[in-house]
Chain A
Amino acid sequence: DQQVKQNSPSLSVQEGRISILNCDYTNSMFDYFLWYKKYPAEGPTFLISISSIKDKNEDGRFTVFLNKSAKHLSLHIVPSQPGDSAVYFCAASEWGSGGSNYKLTFGKGTLLTVNP
Chain B
Amino acid sequence: DAGVTQSPTHLIKTRGQQVTLRCSPKSGHDTVSWYQQALGQGPQFIFQYYEEEERQRGNFPDRFSGHQFPNYSSELNVNALLLGDSALYLCASTYGTLAGELFFGEGSRLTVL
Task: Please list the residues of chain A having a beta carbon within 8 angstroms of any beta carbon in chain B.
Answer: 4, 6, 32, 36, 41-46, 49, 89, 91, 95, 99-109
Most buried by A among B94, B98, B102, B107: B102
Tell which of B4, B58, B97 touches A100, judged by Cβ atoms closer than 8 Å: B97
Q: Please list the residues of chain B having a beta carbon within 8 angstroms of any beta carbon in chain A.
A: 4, 31, 33, 35, 40-45, 48, 56, 58, 90, 92, 94, 97-107
Closest to B106 in A: A43
How far is A101 from B100 in the complex, measured between Cα atoms in Å? Answer: 7
Closest to B43 in A: A106
From residue A26, how far is it (CB to closest CB) to chain B in Å?
Answer: 15
Given contacts A43-B4, A100-B56, contact A106 B44 (CB under 8 A): yes
Please, which residues of chain B bring their CB within 8 A of the CB of A32?
A: 99
